[in-house]
Amino acid sequence: MAIQAQDQADRLADPVPVALRLRPPERTGLAERFDASDPSPGLDVARNPHVARLLHNRKLQFFLILPNQIVFWTVIFVGLLGTAVPGLNFGAAITWYVWFCLVFVMMVVVGRAWCAMCPFGGFGEWIQRRTFWKRTQTTLSLGRKFPEPLANLGFVLPVASFLLLTWIEEYFNIAGPGDPASTSFMVIGIVASALVFFLVFERRTFCRYICPLTSLIGTVGSMGTVAGFRTRDREKCLNCKTKDCMRGGDQGFGCPWYTWPASADSNLYCGLCTECYKSCPEENVGLFLQKPFTSVVAPRRRRGDVAWAIALLWGLVLYQQINFVSAYNSLDGWLNTHLHIPHYPDPVAYLGLIAILALVTAAVTRGIAAVCARRDIEFKHPGNFADKGSRFRAYFIPITYGLIPVVGADYFARQLPKFFKSSPRVVPSVQHMFGSAGVHSWLYNVHLLSDPRIIVVQVAVIALGTVAALWATWRIATRELIPVSRSAFAVRVTTSGLVLLCGAVAAELYVVMQAAN
């Protein structure tokens, strides 16, 4: 069934649903000088003729996806048919010892690099388009639009998906790693879910609204240096009659992520698929590089759903650390007994504690807003807010954006014990597939770092994330909070205090955990 054109003018002009927009406060003085420079995406690498030729090649994304397709189908078959020893099973070893760390590095450096080569979305898209790389006019899909009430949830919906997947992983000890077959079934479940969405809905609906990783990659990836595909001359886009970058043209499909290049001011939703670049008849789309953290500090429109997603992701990673504290283990055991849950994680405690930690983050930002409001009154400057709710939103949303570096650092640090203790086992797991070495390989028991040194690295990672978050919140406060509050001292002290508190809590928990897997 043919993909329906995006013919609603408001969606073309601004793909972000109205319910998710934040009206930024007035900016004056110093903030205007920042606005004049920071949002610029920077260097357009597509101006280079060699890069341009590569981006125009319709086989590019296929060859980015193909290696990962091979790896993950190998993960499925080896997990089901190979050895049950996790350290010797290639599927379990590559997935839980190496893969997430590599994906995280790609997030920080490039942004949504993983989305450009994802085997899950890639497989579903090949089936949907009925081709590996050619431009086709019909698709094997019902082409339905995703329900708008669900779309308006934005990043909150994929965070819910991520919470569900994480609970399944921990409840069944899949990421332990446990039985390698469980890893295979989990991957099969993700592939099957993606395929169903590709066959029912248009474009990459699964990737944008459902994929468990999209919220984590989108938020943490905003630290990356790739701004994504953007308009070179916005006036040309505004005057364009065809909107081929969104609807699709002879040379390319419409943007699978429902993103209009002329409205993009961050790399939040650019999946780097190159379709808008190929489709534009005016050659008015470029691939831009930006300074690190630009998409954290400088977007013109901040979104409430992204802010709540960050708070929930922060709650999840803290929960994963807290559950290693002995005091919490006693509480968890008591809850399991009374709620008749066989073992950790108790779903009530799991969701409840994550929600509480997210609400605590929101409450602290509300407190910051209240402190700044009192300072404003003292200086006879009431601020540009119609009500308490608007003041809360105006502080909560930008402050949570500023926490992205420390939240991302915590997720990365959480994966390091598996990487440093067990990543060398990937080599003997490959050898075992071909009937040699296995547990007798000298690499099987090699640890890259011991537990005490792992803790040092984890704390160092949190420290770096905290420093980056301090810098980001300082810039955000200067751009967006001080111009409306005028209480520069109160804003900077309170926001910096929150960042330092988050970093200190995360670092202390790693010391208490003692590099637990």
Same domain, 484 and 390: yes
User: Is residue 2 domain-resident?
Assistant: no
CA-CA distance, 256 to 139, in Å (whole number)?
A: 13
Q: Provide mean pLDDT across the span 180-184.
A: 94
Cβ neighbours, 10 Å, residue 315:
23
CA distance 506 to 455: 12
Q: Same domain for 90 and 222?
A: yes
Residue-level pLDDT at 147? 95
309 with 271, same domain: the answer is no
| Residue 137 pLDDT exceeds 60 | yes
pLDDT class of 20 with cuts at 50, 70, 90: very low
- Return the structure tokens found at 6: 């995006």
Among 297, 324, 340, the domain-final residue is 297
Average pLDDT over residues 336-353: 84
Class of residue 216 by CB neighbours under 10 A (exposed 0-12, middle 13-18, buried 19+): buried
Q: Are both 106 and 188 inside the same structural domain?
A: yes
- On whether residue 241 sits in a domain, the answer given is yes
Quick one: average pLDDT of 7-34?
34
pLDDT computed for residue 377 by the predictor? 57
Same domain, 258 and 374: no
Tens of pLDDT, residues 375-396: 765 555 555 555 666 888 989 9
In a domain, 182, yes or no: yes
Residue 3 domain-assigned? Answer: no
Range of the domain at 30: 9-297
Does 449 reside within a domain? yes
Q: Are 213 and 263 in contact (CB under 8 A)?
A: no
pLDDT band at 100 (very low <50, low <70, confident <90, very high): confident
Residue 455 within any structural domain of the chain: yes
Is residue 340 a part of any domain in this protein? yes
Give the Cα separation of 34 and 474 in Å (integer): 12
Domain check: are 352 and 227 in the same one?
no
Q: What is the mean pLDDT of residues 21-50?
A: 53
Structure tokens at 95: 């997935």
* Rounded Cα–Cα distance for residues 335 and 355 (Å): 17
Per-residue pLDDT at 122 exceeds 50? yes
In this prediction, residue 5 has a pLDDT band, given cuts at 50, 70 and 90, of very low
Radius of gyration for the chain, computed over Cα atoms and rounded to the nearest angstrom: 24
- Are residues 200 and 59 located together in one domain of the fold? yes
Q: Which residues pair with 325 in a beta bridge?
A: none
Say whether both 448 and 322 belong to one domain.
Answer: yes
Average pLDDT over residues 427-453: 85
Helices marked H in 283-442: 294-297, 304-322, 326-339, 347-378, 388-402, 404-422, 426-433
Q: Do 54 and 24 lie in a common domain?
A: yes
> In the Cβ-directed half-sphere of 58, how many Cα atoms lie within 13 Å?
12
Confidence label for 146 from pLDDT (cuts 50, 70 and 90): very high
Specify if 4 maps to a domain.
no
Last residue of a domain, one of 245, 279, 297: 297
Pair of tokens at residue 307 = 């802010």
Q: Note whether 321 and 254 are same-domain residues.
A: no
Per-residue tokens: 69 = 């397709």
Both 138 and 241 in a single domain? yes
Q: How many domains does the chain have?
A: 2
CB atoms < 10 A from the CB of 220, how many?
24
Beta bridge partners of 288: 44, 228
239-283 pLDDT, tens digit each: 998 899 999 888 899 999 999 998 888 999 999 999 999 999 999
Scored b (16 or more CB within 10 A) or e, 144-165 reads eebeeeebebbbbbbbbbbbeb
SS3 229: strand
- Same domain as 177, residue 29: yes
Is the entire prediction scored with pTM above 0.85? yes
Q: Would you state the structure tokens that stand for residue 249, as one six-digit string?
A: 């043209």
- Look over the chain and give the mean of its residue pLDDT values, rounded to a whole number: 86
Residue after which a domain boundary falls, among 251, 274, 297: 297
Which pair of structure tokens corresponds to residue 91?
A: 């599927």
Residue 164 has pLDDT above 50, yes or no: yes
Q: Which of 423, 427, 425 is nearest to 415 (CA)?
A: 423
Residue 114: is its pLDDT beyond 90? yes
Position 35 pLDDT exceeds 70: no
